[in-house]
Amino acid sequence: MSISRREALALSGLAIASSALSANSDSANSKKRADTTSGSDYKAPLPDAKNPRVVVVGGGWSGLSVAKYTKAFAPSADVVLVEQRHEFISCPVSNLWLVDKVKLEYLTHDYLQAARKNNYTFFHATAIGLDKENQILKTSNGDIAYDYLVFAPGIDYDYSRWTNDIAFENRLRQEYPAGFIPGSEHMTLKNKIQNFKGGNFILTVPAGNYRCLPAPYERACIIADYFKQKKLNAKVILLDANNAITIKEKGFQSAFEELYADFIEYIPNGVITKIDLDNKVVYTEFDEYKFEDAAFYPQVRGAKILEKVGLAKDAKNKLEAHINELTYEAVGAKNIFISGDSRPMGFSKSGNTSNTEGKYVASLIAQRINKTAKIKWQPPVTTCFSAVSIAPEKAIYIYTEYSYDKNIVFSFANTFSSEDWKKDGVQNAESIYDWADALYADMFN
């Protein structure tokens, strides 16, 4: 009897979890190095490291890149990727999955395969604490001693601008999820879109440096085109907390006006002051909007594990990583690095950006392990394609690197964009898949 790829992945995840529960622990070593205040009190079921151990927390675009390239740049290193999910699901390209332009299998990838192909260890567990003095990472499946530690945990949502009522926040999360942390949120959103019968569908764009700047605008276009093709009496109301489209403004604005004049209502400065879920009304400073369904995207912050383990700082009410912004080293702990969407720099919180900066962090760690000359700062690269229509498929594009001045203030550098979707849209849409294929291959081989 054959099993599906998804079933195989699930079984693989169960096998790892089972081995973690059943393995014998080295109690003497565990008690010697454990921080008894932070949860676990036993050693993770991993072989003792004979060489410097690099532990990477988080199997997203940055964490996968760090794990692969640390092992590539420093082959002697013992690299362990700690991830709480059984399988990888991509947030980039997922907007196309919402309307069946790609299959779920295209977004879903195997952590075990990535570990096998790239010669590191995948460890299924959740990071729950940190003993910096003894260099111990606490996980749900035991303690892991490290020589170098990398946190790449991604984002968490910050609903505090809308409510401090936990019950109300939970309703927002469960009934109207944002859909920017991959998994169940996307599944719920897809069901909402494909079962929508008509009326107003509200999307929001948060202020600040949220995950994937163009994605809410792309999502509005894709949903509007889906409604248009279905000939629904429906409209996407896009409430943008910013005073204008934050990126690719020319391309998205022209798509809103020329393709979806009857299907998208774009509201800049649409800062939400109140959400009435029972009566389905959203209030802004200037107006109110009734809705039949919605996906509320709040502001984002660094993942809460950083706050829990003392590696976060409060930056304008957004808790993000407290790091040296050129070396990614945690302040006060030079053998701990933080990469990806939790970092405080103004780089785009996107897959390509996280992937490229992960390679840079890997090179910094490898330089220490190999005892080679210090390397120069390397800018991350943001390469981003955004669909503006699905029938036919057309997209817009931007490429940018980054630079910094003497005050370590970052800015765009070497930027190129292709926002004329009428001229270049079809070619750009084809490039979405070329780009995704290349990045998935890079992380998973």
Q: Are residues 286 and 323 in the same domain?
A: no
Q: Are residues 140 and 27 in the same domain?
A: yes
Domain assignment of residue 266, given as a range:
159-298
| Whole-angstrom distance, CA of residue 368 vs CA of residue 54 | 11
Q: What is the pTM of this model?
A: 0.89
Q: Is residue 393 part of a domain?
A: no
Cis peptide before 75 (omega within 30 of 0): no
User: At residue 376, does pLDDT exceed 50?
Assistant: yes
Q: Are residues 11 and 78 in the same domain?
A: yes
Determine the average pLDDT of the residues in 229-249. 97
Q: Residue 22's pLDDT is what?
A: 37
| Whole-angstrom distance, CA of residue 391 vs CA of residue 12 | 38
Determine the average pLDDT of the residues in 120-148. 98
Q: Are residues 205 and 69 in the same domain?
A: no
Out of 240, 268, 298, a domain closes at 298
Q: Is residue 444 part of a domain?
A: no
SS3 437: helix
Q: Is residue 377 part of a domain?
A: no
Residue 303 identity: A
Please say whether the beta carbons of 394 and 431 come within 8 A: no
Q: Is residue 316 part of a domain?
A: yes
Q: Is residue 88 part of a domain?
A: yes
Q: Residue 317's pLDDT is what?
A: 56
Query: DSSP assignment, residue 47?
Result: P
User: At residue 15, does pLDDT exceed 90?
Assistant: no
Tell me, rounded to whole angstroms, the distance of Cα 136 from its chain centroid: 25
End-to-end CA distance of the chain: 28
Q: Are residues 177 and 229 in the same domain?
A: yes
Q: Are residues 141 and 164 in the same domain?
A: no
Residue 298 identity: P
Q: Residue 315's pLDDT is what?
A: 65
**Tokens encoding 335:** 């053998």
Determine the average pLDDT of the residues in 141-156. 98
Q: Are residues 284 and 343 in the same domain?
A: no
pLDDT one-digit tens code per residue, 388-442: 999 999 999 999 999 999 999 999 999 999 999 999 999 999 999 999 999 999 9
Q: Are residues 315 and 191 in the same domain?
A: no
Q: Are residues 183 and 245 in the same domain?
A: yes
Q: Is residue 103 part of a domain?
A: yes
Q: Are residues 226 and 189 in the same domain?
A: yes
Out of 275, 298, 321, a domain closes at 298
Q: Is residue 424 part of a domain?
A: no
Cis peptide before 392 (omega within 30 of 0): yes
| Whole-angstrom distance, CA of residue 412 vs CA of residue 152 | 23
Q: Is residue 437 part of a domain?
A: no
Instruction: Provide the number of structural domains found in the chain.
Output: 2
Out of 279, 298, 317, a domain closes at 298
Q: What are φ and ψ of residue 352, in 5° steps?
A: -65, -40
Quickly state the pLDDT bin for 17 (edges 50, 70, 90).
Answer: very low
CATH of the domain at 184: 3.50.50.60
Indicate if the alpha-carbon torsion angle 153, 214, 88, 400 is positive or negative: negative
Q: Residue 220's pLDDT is what?
A: 98
Q: Residue 85's pLDDT is what?
A: 96
Quickly state the pLDDT bin for 445 (edges 50, 70, 90).
Answer: confident
Q: Are residues 358 and 247 in the same domain?
A: no
Q: Are residues 164 and 280 in the same domain?
A: yes
